Each structure stands twice: as structure tokens, then as C-alpha cells.
């Protein structure tokens, strides 16, 4: 099936996501304007800086078009800052924090600490037969998830044990960590399955 997957390309880990998706044989496009968004069957919102992303999306007149496509059911994968962008509610956000919404979750920004507190670990992930090696960089976590949200992965040990770090709700999927680094394309494969289902 021919699919075109866009990666929100105004800020963040754009190249890394494009590389993984290209490796999976799908057509990819960096999305900087509405005409590019219109060509997409699915969208990835990468890690980066969520407040900067939302401001740039406003500046480039992409914010409302993306929000509209989400409401229409376009599949979206948000990673790290992308999870924040998809969350309906944000803890520890800036006063002017804006999100695209769509996921009935409350996320806590920088929940795992600052850049120096970045870490890696293996996570059991629903739908995958072996753990995912997850890289967390100034990552959020899910404080609360609504009844329609499926938790796909939780932290298993340490101070953050039990915290939800991957979710799915309908056509939306999000991870606190960066699946585009480390050479494991299985989370992206799950996202492509989600696009095929919708």
C-alpha cells in the first residue's frame, strides 16, 4: 500500500525519523506548510522543544491544519516533545504552552529531569515480542490517562517505576522516549500498522 508519512519539520529530530521511515520503504516528506500536510496519510511529531514547536506551527500556519487533521482521524505518532504536543493537558508547562491535543492524557514536561538526567533502558512494549531499548532525553511522562487510552509501556524500575511512557488512543500513538535513535524500527512499524488500520 502506498503511504506518504510526513514528519513535522520546523524543529526537532526530523532527519532521524525520516531515515527510519525511508528504511521501511515508505514515502516520506518533511512538513513545513499546509500543502505538504495535505499529502500525508500519517504524521510524526518528533522530539524537540514543545513550546518552540507550537509557536513555529502558529507562525507557519500549520497549527490549526494539524489540529483539524487530528480531529478527522489522521494517524499521528508523537515522540518526546511530540507526546506533549498531542496531550490534552500539560503539567509544568510554560504560561503560554499550547498543544494540538487529541490524546486524553496529562503529561508532565521534563518529568525525568534535565538533560543531564537523560538515560536509557529496556521496556516491555505492547504488541512487540521483545523489549524496546528506550532513550529518554528530558522526557515527559504520563501523569494521568483517560479511560480510552491504552498504556503501551511503563517504566519498570527506579524512581519512575510504574510511570506510563507510551500510549495509544484511536489513531494517535505517543512515546516519552526516542524510538528514532538506536536502530530499532519496531515502534515505527507499529505506527505504519496503525495507518493501515485507519
Digit-coded pLDDT (tens) for 8-30: 999 988 999 999 999 999 999 99
Strand ranges inside 25-125, DSSP E: 27-31, 42-45, 76-79, 87-91, 103-108, 119-123
* 29-54: pLDDT as tens digits: 999 999 999 999 999 999 988 989 99
Give the residues across from 150 on adjacent strands: 168
Pairing of strands 27-31, 4-8: parallel
Sequence length of the chain is 198
**Could you give the residue numbers annotated as active site?**
80, 178, 180
Cβ neighbour number for residue 171 with a 10 Å cutoff? 18
The whole model's pTM is what? 0.94
**pLDDT recorded at residue 116:** 45
Domain boundaries, the chain: 4-197
Please report which confidence band the pLDDT of residue 1 belongs to, taking 50, 70 and 90 as the band edges. Answer: low
CATH topology of domain 4-197: Rossmann fold (3.40.50)
Mean pLDDT of 107-119: 67
* 146-194: pLDDT as tens digits: 999 999 999 887 777 788 999 999 999 999 999 999 789 999 999 999 9
**pLDDT recorded at residue 62:** 97
**pLDDT recorded at residue 138:** 81
Q: What is the mean pLDDT of the chain?
A: 91
Amino acid at each position: 500500500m502506498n503511504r506518504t508519512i510526513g514528519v513535522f519539520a520546523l524543529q526537532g529530530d526530523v532527519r532521524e525519523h525520516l531515515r527510519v521511515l525511508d528504511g521501511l520503504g515508505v514515502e516520506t516528506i518533511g512538513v513545513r506548510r499546509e500543502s505538504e500536510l495535505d499529502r500525508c496519510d500519517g504524521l510524526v511529531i518528533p522530539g524537540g522543544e514543545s513550546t518552540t514547536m507550537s509557536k513555529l506551527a502558529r507562525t507557519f500556519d500549520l497549527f490549526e491544519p494539524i489540529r483539524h487533521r487530528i480531529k478527522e482521524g489522521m494517524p499521528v505518532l508523537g515522540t518526546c516533545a511530540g507526546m506533549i504536543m498531542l496531550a490534552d493537558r500539560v503539567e509544568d508547562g510554560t504560561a503560554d504552552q499550547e498543544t494540538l491535543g487529541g490524546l486524553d492524557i496529562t503529561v508532565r514536561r521534563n518529568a525525568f529531569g534535565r538533560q543531564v538526567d537523560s538515560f536509557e533502558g529496556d521496556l516491555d512494549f505492547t504488541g512487540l515480542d521483545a523489549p524496546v531499548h528506550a532513550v529518554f532525553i528530558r522526557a515527559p511522562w504520563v501523569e494521568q490517562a483517560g479511560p480510552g487510552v491504552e498504556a503501551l509501556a511503563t517504566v519498570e524500575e527506579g524512581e519512575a517505576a510504574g510511570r506510563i511512557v507510551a500510549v495509544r488512543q484511536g489513531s494517535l500513538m505517543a512515546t516519552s522516549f526516542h524510538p528514532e535513535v538506536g536502530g530499532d524500527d519496531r515502534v515505527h512499524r507499529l505506527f505504519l500498522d496503525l495507518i493501515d488500520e485507519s
